[in-house]
Each structure stands twice: as structure tokens, then as C-alpha cells.
Amino acid sequence: MPDVSGKRTVAMLTMRGITKAYGDVRANRGIDFDVPAGRIIGLLGENGSGKTTLMNILFGMVPADAGTIVFRERVLADHTPREAIAAGISMIHQHFMLVLAMTVTENVMLASNDDGAWLRHHAVADRIKEASDAYSLHLDPSALVGELSLGAQQRVEIVKAVLQGAALLILDEPTSNLSPPEVSVLLGILRRLRDDGRSVVFISHKLGEVLELCDDVVVLRDGAVTAARPVAGATREDLAYMMVGRDLPAPVERSARAPGRELLLVSDLGARDAAGVPRLRGVSFSVREGEVFAIAGVDGNGQGELADVIAGARALDTGSVFVDGQDVTAASVAERLAAGLAYIPADRASTGLVGIMTIAENLAMRDIGAPPHRRGWWLDRVATRALAETRMAEFGVRARDPESFAATLSGGNQQKVVLARELGRAPRVVLAVQPTRGLDPGATRFVIEKILALREAGAAVLYVSTELDEILAVADRIAVMYDGRVVGIVRREDADLARLGLMMAGVLEETSAAALAYGVSASESASRPGAS
């Protein structure tokens, strides 16, 4: 194995024959997993391939059915996360375990294992500063965690791990909420940790990042290791093939189609959140028949609010919304649905889907006041069930029956339920916010194909994503949002990744004349509705 750091490569972690079953599902089937000291290991796999289970077993969150773990020449068995941390293993979860109302120092103190009688703020703050300087984390120990960006919060998690004395850091999907510049900062920090003799397990399904960062890669499929190899010399195609066990089909063919009339037009949208902070500041654009208008940007720059406002789930301060020429600014959700507006919200877990209601109820929830679900005063449960069965077949939702709870479905199937509800009624305008978040490549592809099929059928699609790869795959035009404003609109054929990244970071604003000429600029068309 090539040695990057120049240090002697010794096994830090050896996992042998790890097996774990949940009921009938065998999540881990005799997995062997090794981490040498001073290496970054990419752990790749689709959703449900067993990578999270394997790491949860290592971290002591779930017990393995069989198998042995040796970490730094000590056997770990039936251990708790506390014992794992004491042994030198730290895990940074996708959802940070931080107290937002406390300072960086206090958060670190919460995680510390040294229980003296007194709190020593200054000593801890000094250690944070030291670690922050050593790994370029740029952390202010006295800052409130809730006021930090997601990238900085992640660095607080890293400093926690470092000060816990972690020799092995596990990061679960660490880049999913970061902008491209933040991602490269993170990758730099991880390299420095590696060069310092620590090891990192980088759980991801983003092939590009694994290729760029990792020394070795372990690929899981269906609970078993399909490959363990150095990254050097591997290609994206190799990794994708090992991950899904089949060649990913070539990129979807997109027909070149002339844009039609404007189906969605928004002008000068402004909205605030509950605390009165402006989340949208004068957003205007239009989306045409058969066009995918993508919005790029780092999470939390107003994209979610934009979609909520258009869909009627959030009040707006200023501006107006037109769907197919009809002013729906003040319309109810039901009226917007009737106008042909579908909405796939970002938050599947609590907004798009209700785990403790049945699949049939979830498929009906936005249309419950309309036929076929409603007949006079009553719900027509037979019709609801029949429609659910049709939709489930149409969208390939794999479930025991429509009366089972939505929470029992896998992530991919849950998203199919949302798609089935929103796209099943043949909408004219689709708002899709992060529709592939947390999905494996197969499910992602399914979603994108559905979206492109709607484009083909003449719908106008507003597609919000934080993944530039995905945006480039679907978009006709790309807008970038930063701090509640659209800071740039470019045509896909003119898109330049570097410039998009700068716009997402808020350092560049531009709207090419060509991009506006593709459609008609929003402000222009607002003054003469119906122009095409």
C-alpha cells in the first residue's frame, strides 16, 4: 500500500466478520474492515448498503450479532459510545450534536470526559485555540454555536473530537450541507488531521469527493464488501460500478425543445421568518413551458422559503405569483393545487410525509378536501385506497400495503410516495426542492427521470438543489441564490462551475444577457403579462 505520510503504516482498527441483522434484513454480512494509522478511508455505498450500521457498531451505538473489533490492540466488545470515545474513536453525525444556545467552549466542555469538580473555561478555551490553530479551524471559543454557519459548526464537532483525543474520526456524509468552498476547507482540515497521524473514515456516496480526498476506499453493497482498494488509479466509473453492481446508464438524453409560454412567474417576492429576519429579498424570475429552471445555492439562502411562498405554505410581504397567467398570490393551497402547482418540499421527514399516518393517507393528504377522497361530508376511504394502490404501482412504491405507516418505508420509497402524490396529478408547474437529498444513485436517477419526463410533457419545473452535478444534469437555466436574493442567472450551456461556486459563496453577482434572453426577463414580463 503506498504510504503518503511517510510514516509506517500499522493497523489501527481491525474489524472482522461483522454481522448484524434487523429482523429479516441482514444489514451487515460478515464485513471485514481495516483502517491503518494515518490514512483517510472512504466508505462508499448506496443507502441501505450497511455503512451506517457498520459505523454504529464500531462506535458502540448498536451491538453486532457476530464479529470482532480490535482498535489499537484492544478488543472492543459490547462497548458504549462513551467507551468508544475513551478508546479514541469519535463520530461526527450528519446532524450535529451541538447545543446551539451555548458557546463553542461550553459545547466542548459538555463532550469532555474529564470530570473535575470545577469548570475551567479558560483552560478549555486555550486548548480550543491551540487545536484551532493547529488544524486551521478558525474557531472563536466564545462564539455562540447557534450563530455559526453549518461549516463552522462542523468544525466545532471536529475540535470536540480532537480534544477528546480521537485517533479515529468517523464522518457521516459530512459534505451534504456545505457549499463548494466550505467543502474544500473541510477536505483540507481532514488532510491535516491525517498528516498528524490520525485516521479518518469518510462515509459518502459522492464519488468525486472520495476520489479527491481518500487514500483507500471500501465499497459496500447489500451489507458486504465489494471492494477495498487504494484510490490511486481508480476512476469514477470503477467506483460507481462497485457501488451499484451495474453500470450507471449514460446521462439522460435531453431533447432540445423550444421554450413555450411562461407557466410560472414570480416578481419581487419578499418574506420574513418568524423572528422577522428577511429570508427573501425581491426575487423575480419566470419559468416556461418545458423548461427546468434550477436554483443553486448553499442550503439556507432562501430557497426553501421561496418554494414555500410560491406553494402558499408561507405568507409573503411583497410581490406576486402567477401560475399559467392566473394570479395565485392570495390563493389557498387547494386553489394552487387546482391551478396545477405541485410541490416536493425539502423536508421529507416532517413536511412532505407524515410517518405516523398510512401511505394511503399520505398520498391523499394535500387533496383530502377534493374528490375522490371526499364525498359530501365524508371521506371516501375506498376511493382513497384505490387511488393509493394505483399510484403505488405507477411509481413503484415497495410496501406491504397502503395501510402501513409511511415511517416503515425506506428513504427512497418515502420519496416515491411524495413524488406519487405530487406528480401523479399531472401538474403544470412543479416545485422540487432537494428532491434527491439522502437518496442513493438508483433512487436519485428515478427522481431525475421523472422530473425530465415532466419537462418533456411541457411542465415548468423549478428545481432547487445544493448539488451542482445534479443541477447541471437537469437544468435549462441556472439561478444562484445567496442571502435571499437571486445573484445570478446563467444558461446551462454557459455555466462555469468556478463562477457558480463564487456566486454561491456570495462573492460574485452576474446575470448574463443571454440567460435573460432565453426567457423574457421577469421584470419585463411582469409589466406585460402573457408575453412570449
Partner 1 sequence: MTTTDALDTTFMRVLSASATARPFVLALAGVGLALALSGLLVLGSGKSPLAAYGSLASGALGSRDRIAVALNKATPYLLTATGVALCFRAQVINIGGEGQIAVGGLAATWVALALPDAPAGVLPIVAALVGAVAGAAWAALAALVRLTRNVHEVLVTLLMNFIGVLFVSEMLQGELGEPGAGFPQSPLLARAAWLPRLVRETDLHVGILVALAAVVAAHLLLWRTPFGFRLRLRGASAPAAIYSGVSMKRSLLSVMLVAGGLAGLAGALEVLGVHYRLIEGFSSGFGFTAVSIALIGGLNPLGVLPAGLFFAFLETGALAMQRAVGVPSPLVLVIQGLTMVFVLAAVALPAPARRA
| Residues making contact with partner 1 (CB under 8 A) | 22-23, 25, 27, 52-53, 56, 62, 311-313, 332-334, 337, 343, 345, 347, 350-358, 361, 365-366, 368-369, 373-374, 377-379, 381, 405, 407-408
Q: Which residues contact 118 (CB under 8 A, 6 or more apart)?
A: none
Contact 59, 201 (CB under 8 A): no
For the bound state, the minimum distance from the C-beta of residue 94 to partner 1, rounded and expressed in Å, comes to 13
In the complex with partner 1, which residue's Cβ is closer, 1 or 25?
Answer: 25
| Distance, C-alpha 472 to centroid of its chain | 17
Q: Give the integer Cα–Cα distance in Å for 229 and 150.
A: 32
Question: Nearest distance from residue 248's CB to partner 1, in Å?
Answer: 26
CB nearer to partner 1: pick between 183 and 418: 418
How many Å from the N-terminal Cα to the C-terminal Cα in the chain? 62
Closest CB to partner 1 among residues 22, 134: 22
C-beta of 231 vs 311, nearer to partner 1: 311
Smaller CB distance to partner 1: residue 171 or 178?
A: 171
**Residue 407 vs 531, nearer CB to partner 1:** 407
Q: Is 243 exposed, middle or buried (0-12, 13-18, 19+ CB in 10 A)?
A: buried
Instruction: Evaluate whether 503 touches 510 at the Cβ level (below 8 Å).
Output: yes
C-alpha cell recorded at residue 427: 401538474
**8 Å CB contact between 269 and 306:** yes
For the bound state, the minimum distance from the C-beta of residue 106 to partner 1, rounded and expressed in Å, comes to: 17
Task: State the minimum distance, in angstroms, from the CB of residue 51 to partner 1.
Answer: 12
SS3 string, 213-264, reads HCCEEEEEECCEEEEEEECCCCCHHHHHHHHHCCCCCCCCCCCCCCCCCEEE
Q: What is the DSSP string of 314-363?
A: S--SEEEEEETTEE-TT--HHHHHHTTEEEE-S-IIIII--TTSBHHHHH
Please report how close the Cβ of residue 60 comes to partner 1 at its closest, in angstroms.
14
Under a CB-based contact definition with an 8 Å cutoff, are residues 82 and 97 in contact? no
We find the least distance from the C-beta atom of residue 108 to partner 1, in angstroms, to be 20
54 versus 213: smaller Cβ distance to partner 1: 54
Cβ pair 145, 107 in contact under 8 A: yes
Minimum CB distance to partner 1, residue 133 (Å): 34
What is the identity of the amino acid at 488? G
Cβ proximity to partner 1, 312 vs 402, nearer residue: 312
CB of 525 to partner 1, least distance (A): 28
In one letter, which amino acid is 319? G
Nearer Cβ to partner 1 (79/373): 373
Smallest separation (angstroms) from partner 1 to the CB of 347: 7
